[in-house]
Amino acid sequence: MASYDSKDLIVLEGLDAVRMRPGMYIGTTGVKGLHHLLWEIIDNAVDEVANGFGNKVEVTLHKDGTASVFDNGRGIPVSPHPKLKISGVEVVFTQLHAGGKFGDNNYKYSGGLHGVGASVTNALSRFLEVTIYKDGKKYFARFESVEKNGKIHSGVPVEKLKEVGNTTLKGTYVKFLPDDRVFKDTKFDYNTVLERLKETAFLNKGIHIELIDERTNARESLCYEGGIRDYVTFLTMDKKPLFVPPIYIENEIEDTYVSLALQYVDNYTDNIFSFVNNIPTPEGGTHEVGFKIALTKVLNDFAKKHGLIKDKDPAFIGDDFREGMVAVLSIKMKNVQFEGQTKTKLGNVEARARVENVCNQGLTEFFASKKNENIGNIIIEKAKGAARVRQAAKRAKDLARSKNSIESTMLIGKLASCTSRNPDINEVFIVEGDSAGGTAKQGRDRYYQAILPLRGKPLNSEKKRIDQVLANEEIRTIIGAIGTGIGEDFKLENLKYNKIIILSDADQDGMHIRCILLTFFFRYMRPLITNGNIYVGMPPLYKVTAKDKEWYCYTDEELENITKNLKNYNLQRYKGLGEMSAEQLWTTTMDPARRSMIRVSVEDAVQADKEISMWMGDDVGPRKDFINRYANFNKVDSFEKNKEDKDE
């Protein structure tokens, strides 16, 4: 049995705090939080390799539930910390917020600055082992969560770092077992890890990342020599690029490294995926602003220089140059400040001018070259289309506004609103079909539940431009009811319902309507998804009646479980919402105390965007390929489904 003394426990009080309130450090103790443990270790390994010390990171998911990460960098320092008098390894795994890095910080840039540190992984693990290969020697240390006097102490160094042999290797190996007393589910998900590592490999060109799943023998080697160029190519794989390869520029200015890969595709959305020190910044920030300013200026200059703007053409605005654009912007800098609702927006003011400078210079050079002139022409043509539609949309909006009083009352007339005026408790059910809508109206609690019945299918917004989307009556009714406006005009504070619940039949048509609505929210009201306001209601699929008892089943599994011990029973299969009585709809689907719902979140906007193009876009090819390959109808939309045990 390993030993530890009370001195250790004092050093470790910080880690006990992590165990008391894991949410404060890793957000949740659900699957997301579980994977966070692994990201912390991977981030340290990638930081080391991305800064030029080594070239390889290997991640393994083991059969016994542990995960391990190896990098062939310098190895975490083994010498004692001058003040704390414990080894560098121990500092890294037991000290919270150890501030900067131990000793002199050799890293120019670090993603880890954002993270909470490897000590949090240690605190929330049953055990964690570290092996260091450094200067011909092999070292080992082990940490455990130990129980003493009925209390659990986290991350105790039960085997202090010691030399255990010689080696010709160099690097750091960390293996840990997530604590099942903290996490309900301690199983790492191969695809989640793979997606994350893929992103990391794209953002750090040339590094080799290996993922090995010993539970299934799946494995993947990732290395992209083209870096973010390859990323853009990957993102546009299911779309129609207007030219190949993507435009690419990179440069360093005032200790800030800026790289940009840019492509245009045959659709109308604007997709900028930006990163700072490998951390995604979906809320944008100063770096994105700098890029947009430069792009607008350079393209306007190009159009003027080549006489591409005629008098009859409307003047371009920045948006026009971003229609159909897919861009990856990755910058690396020191002292990053994140702000915004989810701390994913870059705040550093100095980044704007630096990014603008690099992009200005790089893009000007690119378009000045004779061989790229055609690419410039293609983009300007695309922007002209965008400018025309923008003006048409404005006319359509103005018209809608002028007719507002009459028409919107007519449209909202379809909405059975609720009596409460408190958006925090109010809910709106978007219900497929007039007849189900009628049933829902009777079944609801009219104090806080509103019903919006949809006649027919709403417009598939992936296939249409904004002016057509806005002209669609179903879509306009939804926009009017929700209250926030759309796109650039979106204002979350005007949201009239805290929960927007899509209620469609459990058949192909219902699934299609659900996809169309989610696509619309994703494209035009995305904050509703990131803010967690969008839900999918779950009506039961079956009703089982036996003697004087009845059960509702929401899945085939539930049905099997219930019927396997019954001898005589009657089975009713609900094909649509319309087959239920108002009373039944209330008990099974609408009553917050009894219903189950899926809350829609966009875990990974990149993945979501790709899948939406595939499922909802014009091009049927990728969709067919996918269906042929997987034919798995459980995964029809691109949103992560978190089935809530019980809503509320």
- Cα separation, 436 vs 233, in Å, equals 44
Minimum separation from the CB atom of position 604 to ligand 1YM (A): 24
Catalytic residue among 505, 604, 609, 637: 505
Six token digits for residue 266: 């045959």
Nearer to ligand 1YM, 108 or 641 (CB): 108
Measured CA angle at 144 (ends 141, 150), to 5 deg: 150
Q: C-beta of 57: minimal distance to ligand 1YM in Å?
A: 8
Told to judge if 507 belongs to the known catalytic residues of this protein, a careful annotator would answer yes
- Establish whether 255 is a catalytic residue: no
Backbone angles phi, psi at 26, to 5 degrees: -125, 15
Q: Strand 247-253 to strand 256-264: parallel, antiparallel, or no bridges (unpaired)?
A: antiparallel
- Amino acid identity at 142: R
Look at the block and give the residue holding tokens 């048409």: 392
Check 432, 604, 611, 647 and give the catalytic one. 432
Which position has the token pair 């020697």?
A: 137
Contacts with ligand 1YM, residue ranges (CB under 6 A): 41, 44-45, 48, 69-71, 73-74, 76-77, 88, 91-92, 101-107, 172, 174
Handedness of CA 245, 247, 251, 255 (dihedral sign): negative
- Rank residues 222 and 415 by Cβ distance to ligand 1YM and give the closer one: 222
> How far apart (Å, rounded) are the C-alpha atoms in residues 482 and 497?
7
Residue nearest to ligand 1YM (CB): 102
- Give per-residue burial for 436-475: e unless 16+ CB within 10 Å, then b: bbbbbbebbeeebbbbbbbeeebbbbbeebbbbbbebbbb
Q: Which is nearer to ligand 1YM, 69 or 590 (CB)?
A: 69
Kindly name the residue from 185, 381, 509, 618 that is annotated as catalytic. Answer: 509
Closest CB to ligand 1YM among residues 79, 561: 79
As a three-state string, the secondary structure of 491-510 is CHHHCCCCEEEEECCCCHHH
Q: In 3-state terms, what secondary structure has residue 561? A: helix
Residue among 197 and 436 whose Cβ is closer to ligand 1YM: 197
What phi and psi values does residue 536 have, to the nearest 5 degrees? -115, 120
**Distance of closest approach, residue 18 Cβ to ligand 1YM, in angstroms:** 17
* Residues 119, 100: Cα–Cα separation, whole Å: 14
Hey, what amino acid is at 204?
N
509 is a catalytic site residue: yes
Q: Residue 173, SS3?
A: strand
Taking residue 484's Cβ as centre, other Cβ atoms within 10 Å add up to 19
Residue type, 268: Y
Q: Residue 33's closest CA among 19, 44, 23?
A: 23
Q: Outline where 236-285 has alpha helix (H).
A: none
Of the pair 77, 592, the CB lying nearest ligand 1YM is at 77
Residue 231: CB minimum distance to ligand 1YM, A: 24
Report how far residue 580's alpha carbon sits from residue 383's, in angstroms, rounded to the nearest whole number. Answer: 50
Nearer to ligand 1YM, 81 or 496 (CB): 81
* Min separation Cβ 279 and ligand 1YM, Å: 17
Q: How far is the CB of 167 from ligand 1YM (least distance, A)?
A: 15
Torsion of CA 513, 605, 201, 225, to 10 degrees: 80
Active-site residue, from 365, 507, 556, 618? 507
Give min distance, CB of 115 to ligand 1YM, in A: 11
Q: What Cα–Cα distance (Å) separates residue 399 from each residue in 466, 476, 486, 488, 643?
A: 15, 13, 17, 19, 41
- Our CB check for ligand 1YM shows the closer of 73 and 537 to be 73
Minimum CB distance to ligand 1YM, residue 144 (Å):
19
Q: What angle do CA 464, 466, 471 make, to 5 degrees?
A: 90
CB of 335 to ligand 1YM, least distance (A): 16
Q: Nearer to ligand 1YM by C-beta: 78 or 470?
A: 78
The position carrying tokens 């499922």 is 615
The answer to whether the CB of 273 falls within 8 A of the CB of 328 is yes
Active site amino acids: 432, 505, 507, 509
